[in-house]
Amino acid sequence: MVHLRIVAPPHSAEKALELLLGTGSACNVVHLEGAAHKPEGDVILVDVAREDASVIVDDLRELDIPHEGSIAIEYIDTQVSDAAERAEKHARGLPSDAVVWEEVETRTSENTELSVNFLAFMVLAMLIAAVGIFLDQPILIIGAMVVGPEYGPLAGFCVAVVERRGRLARRSLMALVVGFPLGIAITVGVTLLFRALDVVPSEFEPGSHPLTSFLSDPDFLSFFVAFVAGVAGVLSLTSAKSGALIGVLISVTTIPAAANVGVAAAFGDWSETGGAALQLTVNLLAIVLAGIGTLYLQRRLYVVRRRKHLSDPAREEAGLPLGRSRRSPVVIQGRRPS
């Protein structure tokens, strides 16, 4: 279940209340008249089935509540309630498969900022990977994969493409375009410093690290693993199962490949540099293609659910049109906008 806290002026709160009281997937509706200040208005508390959370929020958007007040979304970890069970049964599908799009948009927006912390993690992850390449130690490569923050902007870009959000796409690309070159450049500088200080193992050669040679040797399996990891990453993001995301980060070699570009360039091995750059490109492309494809399918399923919901009589009770949305040209089959 998902808990909504709605703040709205009295005229909008009345319509929202009618909507929620008539919606089968909502329960535990509480109306506090005049309880809100800044902005002034009423407060409505309600629990809704996760499967219908986004469609109900879309209805509330049609009532202009976000412009006149606010909608806060929180997850309920545990609830003992027969009413909640009835609400979940009324909503089609399974809670574990449901996507709360507002949460996805918020999480991706937060992870696409070109911040000092983002750049620091990019650089630190590549330096860890560089040491892993020097020592030919896969465990350090895995550590670098976990530390790397690059999946946030990649996921943000996929969401931006599917939802046609140009600003989010630009922010995501900016983080990647700045983060990777900066990390590579600093890796080159640190590698040169290590060589000058004679810290790099004497037996190390850029093209001779057998346990981590996959970082500069892309093939079909490299693309396949990155593609599957991209699908898993999106499913982890949309289902809020962050545990699976750790496995995704360990499955892709974006950060280690970028670090290998820097290490090989510092040693002047341009063949190894080119191979590592190709591996980086293959991984980024596979993740983006997988992410966009998975999100597109999930979005289409949501559109189908939304179209069916537009015929819910509760919308008419709240003064919303049946069969169409005020905010978009979505029309259910067999109905035309009036």
**Per-residue pLDDT tens over the stretch 110-123:** 778 889 999 999 99
**Per-residue pLDDT tens over the stretch 272-321:** 999 999 999 999 999 999 999 999 999 998 888 888 888 888 888 888 88
335 falls in which pLDDT band (50, 70, 90)?
A: very low
Q: What is the pLDDT of residue 108?
A: 80
What is the spatial distance between Cα 66 and Cα 213, in angstroms, rounded to a whole number?
Answer: 52
Closest CA to 90 of 140, 25, 137: 25
What is the spatial distance between Cα 232 and Cα 247, in angstroms, rounded to a whole number?
Answer: 9
pLDDT of residue 334 exceeding 50, the answer is no
Domain regions of the chain by residue span: 2-96, 105-300
Give the residue-averaged pLDDT of 146-164.
Answer: 91
| SS3 category, 71 | strand
Give the residue-averaged pLDDT of 2-8.
Answer: 95
pLDDT of residue 43 exceeding 80, the answer is yes
171 falls in which pLDDT band (50, 70, 90)?
A: very high
| SS3 category, 48 | strand
Which residues 6+ apart lie within 8 Å of 103 measured at CB?
A: 73, 240
> Lowest mean pLDDT: which of 66-80, 156-170, 310-324?
310-324
Burial of 130 (0-12, 13-18, 19+ CB in 10 A): buried
Cis peptide before 10 (omega within 30 of 0): no
What is the spatial distance between Cα 92 and Cα 11, in angstroms, rounded to a whole number?
Answer: 31
Q: Are 126 and 187 in contact (CB under 8 A)?
A: yes
Give the residue-averaged pLDDT of 63-81.
Answer: 91
**Per-residue pLDDT tens over the stretch 118-138:** 999 999 999 999 999 999 999
pLDDT of residue 1 exceeding 80, the answer is yes
Sheet holding 70-75, edge to edge: 26-36, 41-48, 2-8, 70-75
Beta bridge partners of 27: 47
Largest Cα span, the chain:
78
Fold of domain 2-96: Alpha-Beta Plaits (3.30.70)
pLDDT of residue 328 exceeding 80, the answer is no
Closest CA to 168 of 152, 149, 150: 152
331 falls in which pLDDT band (50, 70, 90)?
A: very low
Give the residue-averaged pLDDT of 165-179.
Answer: 93
Which residues 6+ apart lie within 8 Å of 50 measured at CB?
A: 1, 2, 91, 95, 98, 100
336 falls in which pLDDT band (50, 70, 90)?
A: very low
Q: What is the pLDDT of residue 249?
A: 65
324 falls in which pLDDT band (50, 70, 90)?
A: confident
* Mean pLDDT, all residues of the chain: 88
pLDDT of residue 54 exceeding 50, the answer is yes
pTM: 0.83
| SS3 category, 26 | strand
Q: What is the pLDDT of residue 210?
A: 82
**Per-residue pLDDT tens over the stretch 185-195:** 999 999 999 99
Length of the chain: 338
Q: Are 154 and 284 in contact (CB under 8 A)?
A: yes
Burial of 280 (0-12, 13-18, 19+ CB in 10 A): buried
pLDDT of residue 252 exceeding 70, the answer is yes
Percent of the chain whose predicted confidence (pLDDT) is above 90 = 57
